[in-house]
Chains A and B, each alone.
Chain A
Amino acid sequence: MNYPQWIIEGVGGPGIIGIIAVSHVFISQFAVGGGLFLPITEYLARRNNDPEMLEYLHTHTRFFTILTSVVGAMFGVGIWFAIGLVHPDATAFLIRNFVLAWTIEWVWFFLEILSLIVYYYGWKTLSPRTHMMVGWVYMFTAIMTLVTINGILCFMLTPGDWIQNQSFWSAMFNPTYWPSLLMRFLVCLALAGLYGLITAARMSTANGLRTRMLQYSARWFIPTFVFMLFAMGWYMLMLPEETRNMLFSGMSGFARGNFAILTRISMLTILFTATMGFMIFFGAYANPEEFGGGKIAFLMISALFVTGAGEWTREVLRKPYVIHSVMYSNALLAADAKDMETAERPFLPRIEWRKDGESDGQAMFRTQCRSCHTLDGYRPLREFLKGRDEKSILSLLKIMRPGEKNPYRNIMPPTVGTDTELAMLARYLTSEVSSAK
């Protein structure tokens, strides 16, 4: 409410962030996994005096460098662009609290890109020893980018002791930090192997190297296949109980709704992870001769689904907050909402930035509803409010005021403002609903 917002119809602001973020994660976690894959594979090839394997790795490094440093970085900038415009208040809040972490992150990132470029361009010019050294530097810096950013991502779901002590270290090493780090690390390894399969499958079948590299890349999936379920369980145990319960809310009953879908998406994530393990075994490892384009495409689709589903689950588990127990998804601070529970304080004066010609009702709508809802697309308000008149919408808004009586308190941020302000919002919503085509 302090800054201009980017309002997106159709997929909505969260949808845009989601698409960019999932694409970024899919590539950047490969960059971290590749940080291990490249130097470890090079080390093995040099130890076994295997020039063919080194040649394969050289080709793989080119693919890797272009994908991670160009496409991955582009999506990384895209996330900043999207979150800064769609949710400026939450972005500002995170920058204020994590300026040190992000500075460290960017240093790691700079070193990571630098060492990767030296690693790729130094294949033919650096001595084997120096080249290996650059590879290890790349591995270390790539892992450190994950170690750093993981703290900020987990903080948004489980701020833990930070709420009481406001300590940077409590924020960084919050309750889900370690299980999340393990999960992401396992995903990184799997993605390293998965992308390894792509380059290996494109090789000639003539000398047996293709089969060897396919089976080698497939083995990178073993730690993920063995430990992922354990990591997921650990992560779940570290979640607050009410958040954990949300995961089980769709077990019985087939009704639609975010929380039932949350259970279903979580189940599908587990299933897809397991089936990917079997696909890699039956496809790349045990049957490398028949492993080709179509099979890789399905593996990549599965991996993209697991990445997207995992990130989406983490986002939905935070509901109705953008930073759990601290800031609601519409940028309202939880402390302010508590304050507005008893005293009917006006909300409009808190809106620092107003659009030219924006009515009060429209400003209420933009600041309290628009972060999550579109009119006709993702979470469509016109559909949700269809059939309600102004009186009915106003009573719904009043029911959603802060406090224990609000039945939607675990699903949506509360509505805040005086009776007059809510009436303005109700009038505006009614006009929007009635103007539906």
Chain B
Amino acid sequence: MSVKEKFQKFLEERLPVQAFKDLSSHKMVPEHKQAFWYYFGGITLFFFIILVFTGMVLLFQYQPGLESSHASVLRIVTKVDFGWLIRSIHSWGANLMLAAAFIHMFSVYFMKAYQKPRELTWLTGLGLLGLGMGLGFTGYSLVWDDMAFFATKIGIDMMEGIPGGEYIADIIRGGPEMGGLTIQRMFALHVVILPWIFIGLLGAHLFFLQIHGNKIPEGIEKSGEYRKVPFFPNFIFSDLYVWLICLNLLAVLAAMYPWHIGAEADPLAPSPKGIKPEWYFMAMFQLLKLMPAHVAGMSGELFGNMLFGAAAMFWAAVPVWNPAGTVGRRAKLATYVGLLGLMFIIGFTIWGYTAHPV
């Protein structure tokens, strides 16, 4: 037995790589003209990994606190070597992750990959998107500049519009007003609580994906215009290829368009002109802005929030009202609902940005 073989045997006895390799080469992934959309789940995961690492690096410098939050971010972006870059990668990465997650969700929806037996994959995915938005919201506030402060304030105030929301808002704020405790709690949510839940849910999501595999769209499956390629190396290497493209895209954005930081938040100052939330809350924000003061005997804000809650539940329940095997008008209805949802998000986001220019 050669030294190389001995070494491989030594490794194999302790870490059975070959077994994993065999398993992954037997696992097959469909390849067809719409297979491009499969990559967006992996892209979302890639950006999440980037966020974990850059977040850990930022923790070495960031100091949560009323006096220190803004000052430490300012120091990171002006004094620390490559600090601006790490923060910029973290901020751009978060936005790209959410963009990829939205694309992933809609592609899954239109491929009807939520149908039996993939209902749990769908629900855990939606949970991850919600947590991702929560991470975005809490992270945005940690900079404690004027825009972040007032956008966070508006976000928390919006929570008060839902039944029992005032208690949640109070817990997040650490009292009736935003202050040092708000930063402390946002920080705890952002770096510990939400990431741990996210990782757990991500594990479940990937587990369900491994069990059920990728869904082949019905039309393609019927026509037989697809082939199956091994997960390893074909799919995983293609996935890595796409990750490298995403890394380049992220690097260009982070390096050439470094993330902005505004003046330190002043709670006593009037809110700056053009105050608005991050783009992924913009459609919701714009709809609430359009609500009249009172609708159907309740406040417009409450009505808007209830509308959102109902729409989100309806969206999440799509495996129930459009189960596998549905054909005809009912099957088409799900596609129309998806298109309506997509148009609402894009349309209201653009409307929000044009209605509230900086």
Contact = CB atoms under 8 A, between A and B. Distances in A.
Contacts of A261: 256
Interface string A125-161: 0000000000000000000000000000000000000
B248 A252 contact: no
A212 interface: no
B252 A268 contact: yes
A219 interface: no
Contact of B251 (A252, A268, A290, A298): A268
B80 A264 contact: no
A137 B239 CA distance: 43
Interface stretch (A43-51, A236-244, A275-283, A416-424): A275-283
A279 B241 contact: yes
Contacts of A290: 31, 229, 234, 237-238
Contacts of B88: 254
A264 B256 contact: yes
A252 B85 CA distance: 9
A295 B241 contact: yes
Contact of A287 (B82, B83, B233, B256): B233
Contact of A252 (B84, B233, B255): B84
A272 B80 CA distance: 24
Nearest to A271: B251
B132 to A, nearest CB: 25
A289 B234 contact: yes
Given A279-B241, A286-B237, A272 B248 contact: yes
A283 B238 CA distance: 7
Interface in A238-284: 251-254, 261, 264-265, 267-268, 271-272, 275, 278-279, 282-283
B29 to A, nearest CB: 11
DSSP majority for the B interface? helix
Contact of B258 (A254, A265, A275, A295): A254
A406 interface: no
A252 B240 contact: no
A313 interface: no
Contacts of B78: 252-254
Nearest to B88: A254
Counting chain A CB atoms within 10 Å of each CB, which of B80, B85, B237 scores highest?
A: B237
B234 A251 contact: no
A302 interface: yes
B13 interface: no
Nearest to A248: B81
Contacts of A268: 251-252, 255
Given A252-B78, A252-B81, A290-B229, A298 B245 contact: yes
DSSP majority for the A interface? helix
Contacts of A298: 245
A254 B234 CA distance: 40
A271 B82 CA distance: 15
Contacts of B256: 261, 264
Interface string B120-143: 000000000000000000000000
Given A261-B256, A279-B244, A252 B82 contact: yes
B239 to A, nearest CB: 9
A251 B81 CA distance: 5
B244 A282 contact: yes
Contacts of B245: 279, 298
B178 interface: no
B82 A278 contact: no
Contacts of B248: 271-272, 275, 302
Contacts of A286: 233, 237
Contacts of A267: 85, 251, 255
Contacts of A278: 240, 244
Interface string B218-259: 000000000001000110011011001101100110011011
B191 to A, nearest CB: 23
A219 to B, nearest CB: 17
A164 B84 CA distance: 43
Counting chain B CB atoms within 10 Å of each CB, which of A272, A283, A290, A302 scores highest?
A: A290
A268 B247 CA distance: 11
Contacts of A254: 77-78, 84, 88, 258-259
B9 interface: no
A7 B234 CA distance: 53
B356 interface: no
B80 A287 contact: no
B332 interface: no
A283 B88 CA distance: 29
Counting chain A CB atoms within 10 Å of each CB, which of B234, B241, B259 scores highest?
A: B241
Contacts of A264: 255-256
B244 A275 contact: yes
B340 to A, nearest CB: 30
B272 to A, nearest CB: 21
Nearest to B238: A290
A280 to B, nearest CB: 10
A283 B237 contact: yes
B241 A283 contact: yes
Q: List the 5 closest pairs (A to B, CB-CB), nearest first.
A: A254-B84, A254-B258, A287-B237, A264-B255, A282-B237
Given A252-B81, A268-B251, A290-B234, 18 more contacts: A253-B77, A254-B77, A254-B258, A254-B259, A261-B256, A267-B251, A267-B255, A268-B252, A268-B255, A271-B248, A275-B247, A275-B248, A278-B244, A283-B241, A286-B233, A287-B238, A287-B241, A295-B238
7 contacts: A251-B82, A264-B255, A268-B252, A271-B251, A286-B233, A287-B233, A290-B238
Interface of B: 31, 77-85, 88, 229, 233-234, 237-238, 240-241, 244-245, 247-248, 251-252, 255-256, 258-259
